[in-house]
Amino acid sequence: MLTMDSKTQNCAAQYLPLAPVSPNQALLPLTAQVNNLDYLAIGGCDVKTLVERFGSPLYILDEATLRTACRVYRDSFAQYYPGESLVIYASKAWSCLAICSIVASEGLGFDVVSGGEIYTTLTALEQGRGSGDFSQKIYFHGNNKAKEELKLAVENAITIIVDNWLELETLVEMAAEESKPIGIMLRLTPGIECHTHEYIRTGHLDSKFGFDPNQLDSLFSYISKQEKLHCVGLHAHIGSQIFEQQPHQDLAHVLVGWLKKATEIYGLPIQELNIGGGLGISYTEQDDPPSIEAWVKGVATAVVAACKENNLSLPKLIAEPGRSLIGTACVTAYTIGSRKVVPGIRTYIAVDGGMSDNPRPITYQSLYRAVVGNRMSAPLTEKVTVAGKHCESGDILIPDALLSETKAGDILVVMGTGAYNYSMASNYNRIGRPAAVLVNEGEANLILMRENYSDLIRQDRLPERLL
């Protein structure tokens, strides 16, 4: 949780990370500061100058926060898990060349869920400064993978996390044509409930993902007869934005029990256990997720204990976080425009983006916090509802935001927009996706170009008879 000192208590500067904090617990990126003009600066770049240079809205991604989160995950596993471990980035949170390249250079692997994510990751590894051999570090998820996607994965020695019987049968057919066995893992649905939004819960029994536990025997038995499938591990993911530690620790025990069955009864060569992602982040000061280190320690300890109880050697332990690696590393800067006062009810201020660049509030009723980035030490005196610019009444980014006084032209900075914002962005109302910049030590580099009008009609075709 956030600590406030008395100087900053009633102004936006209260959101600055004062004491060292786990990246997933900070509201603003770790390098956030207020400069001498009272502007918010991230990675040594102030948000006002960034907007002048790159336009608005603008995603501002802090390289140091992302790298720190990668290192804390990696180092915590090294510290608390005596066996081999690997952290893979759930790139659905935000996949683009620069991000994949940074994550790779920190030694993490990748969880990919589509041909597009595979292509982006492989291109980043080819062109960027990744490190070493990635053939054992990319894992392909999905409950309805297309044959072409599976083919792309097989061609690139990507491990396929098999979700269902149809996929398994397809892979058996494909493997018959291959010279080497295809590496797979199995996604299982453990029936573990956790308290998070219904849409982002995936590990309970009534889920579209994975094999049901009552199919385990037939599943293991079938796979044990497939010479051309090499089953290296078991996987489960119980949900996202989770603050409790117990569900993942329970999951560790369940998975280790299944691993014992798979190896001892069915002789499967399983050496990997993937515990999924799901650790939450702080979007508001009310959110209180465990630190990355505490989460890793809890999971690692549970796996070690379960293996000891079952007399098993330690598997390679994999975790696949997305949100807690990148969520708090990014903010979105908007320019404030019109204002509407509904007397006695509320005041709306509108920004130049909204549900097309951040669909999470309208989709999940997610809460965000914002600051006026060009007036960081002004007192928080206004309660306003921050509206987007889309033609939809529900396009509200923040209901009842507590801000300093605002006027048109001010920069509104919404925090915690690194995960599932750009990756879920749309062109609703034919609005182009914003640009994204990577900031680090005073340098700002464009990593995603703003979509312009011609980008918006690039895929349009006018049939001849309409000309």
Residue 321 labelled as part of a binding site? yes
Rounded Cα distance between 303 and 314, Å, is 8
Q: Which is nearer to ligand LLP, 91 or 440 (CB)?
A: 91
Q: Within 286-411, where are the H helices?
A: 292-309, 323-326, 360-364
Please indicate if the annotation marks 344 as binding a ligand: no
Scanning 44-52, 129-137, 236-244, 329-337 for contacts with ligand LLP by CB under 6 A, the matching segment is: 236-244
Within a 13 Å sphere around the CA of 428, how many CA atoms are in the beta-carbon half? 16
CB of 334 to ligand LLP, least distance (A): 19
Q: Is 453 annotated as a binding residue?
A: no
Pick from 105, 215, 90, 202: nearest CA to 164: 215
Beta strands, E only, 316-369: 316-319, 330-342, 346-351
201 makes contact with ligand LLP (CB under 6 A): no
Q: For residue 172, what are the CA distances in angstroms to 184, 212, 233?
A: 11, 20, 17
The dihedral built from the CA positions of residue 66, 26, 243 and 316, taken in this order, carries a sign that is positive
- Which residue among 100, 194, 307, 391 is the active-site one? 391
According to CB under 6 A, which one of 200, 362, 380, 446 is a site residue for ligand LLP? 200
Residue 100 annotated to the active site:
no
Among residues 18 and 424, whose Cβ is nearest to ligand LLP?
424
Confirm whether residue 337 is marked as ligand binding.
Answer: no
Is residue 39 marked as binding?
no
Selected range binding ligand LLP among 258-266, 310-318, 392-400, 418-426, rule: CB under 6 A: 418-426
Q: Is 418 helix (H, G, I), strand (E, B) or coil?
A: coil
Q: Which is nearer to ligand LLP, 161 or 384 (CB)?
A: 161
CB under 8 Å to 299, separation ≥6 — which residues?
248, 249, 252, 275, 317, 319
- Is residue 320 part of the contact set for ligand LLP (CB under 6 A)? yes
Cβ closer to ligand LLP: 374 or 417? Answer: 417
Compute the CA torsion angle 5, 8, 14, 19 (nearest 10 deg): -40
Other C-beta atoms lying within 10 Å of the C-beta of residue 105: 15
Nearer CB in complex with ligand LLP: 17/361: 361
Residue 248 interacts with ligand LLP (CB under 6 A): yes or no: no
Residue with tokens 């590894």: 125
94: contact with ligand LLP by CB under 6 A: no
Give Cα separations from 244 to 287, 369, 385 (angstroms): 12, 22, 31
- Under rule CB under 6 A, residue 18 binds ligand LLP: no
> How far is Cα 47 from Cα 44, in angstroms, rounded to an integer?
10
Is 193 annotated to bind a ligand? Reply is no
3-class DSSP state of 177? coil
Of the residues 17, 183, 190, 278, which one makes contact with ligand LLP according to CB under 6 A: 278
Q: Which residues pair with 11 in a beta bridge?
A: 379
Q: Is 240 in the site for ligand LLP (CB under 6 A)?
A: yes
Contact flag: residue 360 with ligand LLP (CB under 6 A): yes
Site residues for ligand LLP, window 45-84 (CB under 6 A)?
none
Q: Which stretch binds ligand LLP (CB under 6 A): 66-74, 272-280, 285-293, 457-465?
A: 272-280
Does position 321 bind ligand LLP by CB under 6 A?
Answer: yes
Nearer residue to ligand LLP within complex by CB, 145 or 360: 360
Is 323 an interacting residue with respect to ligand LLP (CB under 6 A)? yes
Q: Which is nearer to ligand LLP, 241 or 356 (CB)?
A: 241
Place of tokens 């640009």: 435
Q: Token pair of 124, please?
A: 């980043």
Instruction: Measure Cα distances from 325 to 250, 322, 427, 456 in Å.
Output: 23, 5, 26, 31
> Does the footprint of ligand LLP cover residue 186 (CB under 6 A)?
no
324 binds ligand LLP (CB under 6 A): yes
Q: Is 93 in the site for ligand LLP (CB under 6 A)?
A: yes
- Give the sheet arrangement for strand 33-34, strand by strand: 33-34, 40-42, 45-46
Q: Which of residues 124-183 bind ligand LLP (CB under 6 A)?
A: 141
Between the alpha carbon of residue 181 and those of residues 78, 229, 266, 440, the distances in Å are 30, 5, 18, 43
Q: Which residues fall in the annotated binding site?
A: 278, 320-323, 360, 364, 392, 420
Q: Which residues fall in the annotated binding site for pyridoxal 5'-phosphate?
A: 278, 320-323, 420
Q: Residue numbers of the site for ligand LLP (CB under 6 A)?
A: 90, 92-93, 111, 141, 200, 202, 237, 240-241, 276-279, 320-324, 360, 364, 419-420, 424
List residues with catalytic annotation. 391
Q: Which residues fall in the annotated binding site for substrate?
A: 323, 360, 364, 392, 420
